Amino acid sequence: MSLKLIENRRSFGGEQVKYTHYSEVLQCEMTFSIYLPSNKEQKKIPLIWWLSGLTCTDDNFSQKSGFQRLAEKHQVAVMIPDTSPRGEHVANDDAWDLGQGAGFYVNATQDPWAKNFNMYSYIVEELAAIALTLVPHFSGKESIMGHSMGGHGALVTGMKNAERYKAISAFSPILNPMKVPWGIKAFSAYLGEDKALWKEWDASELIKEAGMPPILITQGTEDNFYPEQLDETQFLNNVQENNQTVLYEKKDGYDHSYFFISSFLEDHFSFHMKYLS
């Protein structure tokens, strides 16, 4: 494992750092950002994962959310992966919602995607091992949040590893990818036609299992992808039928952008810290 430091900028007393590295899991060069709080008291600090949406890189959340103020206030590290494998030799598609920039946080089984598109294992295994080496005084406690495609990613990753991630939250997530255009397109390409396999990557299916971490979801009412891509009906039905505890809240007048995310990120950090402290 060889990390190359690209940027290190002081922010709110802590450090906003960017690295590149060669990913064995994704078979390509990858970039990620991590925020390390000042930790002046040398206490144990937890780690929040942020998964971004379609077309994003690690920069969107780093530059537009204002999260560093909250991470420093709560003394928590934040890891921000890229959203997909990238590069000339990585499979791609002309569409913005498939291929590079649209990894969907699954492990692909179909050609030409299977070689590189393994974002789930990259995040859960390879990047997690790297995070261990980068967070000083790591408390061992992790949680996960994300936006849109990354909200789907946070829910699926968190629920598939319910013992490990202490809390899950999402802004305007794709809650039922098997049933909406973005998800159907991506799952058909990456996973093929076996719907039993699709269910393993659908939050509305995973929420049927007992023992899930606490979940907070925030959705803007003026989101131009709602409800078509972000419909919550099936998910909330399954929450109720299976006696799960999920806080699903709508915010009047907010859209799909970082203006929405930044407005409510403080609530999400407070929610996570209840389970990370």
> Rule CB under 8 A: which residues touch a copy of itself?
9-13, 16, 63-64, 66, 68-69, 220, 222, 253-255, 257-260, 262-263
Strands of the 138-147 sheet, one edge to the other:
3-11, 14-23, 28-36, 77-81, 45-51, 138-147, 165-171, 215-220, 246-251
137 counts as catalytic: no
* Closest to a copy of itself by CB, 68 or 118: 68
* Closest to a copy of itself by CB, 142 or 223: 223
Tokens found for residue 157: 């990753």
267 counts as catalytic: no
Closest CB 252 distance from a copy of itself, rounded Å:
8
d(Cα 32, Cα 60) in Å, to the nearest integer?
12
* Closest to a copy of itself by CB, 264 or 275: 264
d(Cα 201, Cα 120) in Å, to the nearest integer?
10
Closest CB 270 distance from a copy of itself, rounded Å:
15
* Closest to a copy of itself by CB, 8 or 188: 8
d(Cα 20, Cα 29) in Å, to the nearest integer?
7
* Closest to a copy of itself by CB, 63 or 188: 63
148 counts as catalytic: yes
Which run of H or of E encompasses 157?
helix 149-160
Compute, in degrees rounded to 10, the torsion defined by CA atoms 87, 93, 94, 96.
Answer: -80
Q: Please pick, among 148, 169, 172, 204, the residue that the annotation labels catalytic.
A: 148
Closest CA to 147 of 263, 31, 26: 263
For residue 163, what are the contacts with CB-CB under 8 A and spacing of at least 6?
none
Closest CB 258 distance from a copy of itself, rounded Å:
7
Closest CB 185 distance from a copy of itself, rounded Å:
27
Q: Please pick, among 74, 147, 152, 256, the residue that the annotation labels catalytic.
A: 256
d(Cα 264, Cα 172) in Å, to the nearest integer?
12
Closest CA to 160 of 104, 206, 215, 106: 206
Q: Please pick, among 82, 169, 223, 272, the residue that the annotation labels catalytic.
A: 223
Closest CB 34 distance from a copy of itself, rounded Å:
14
> Which residues are catalytic, by number?
148, 223, 256
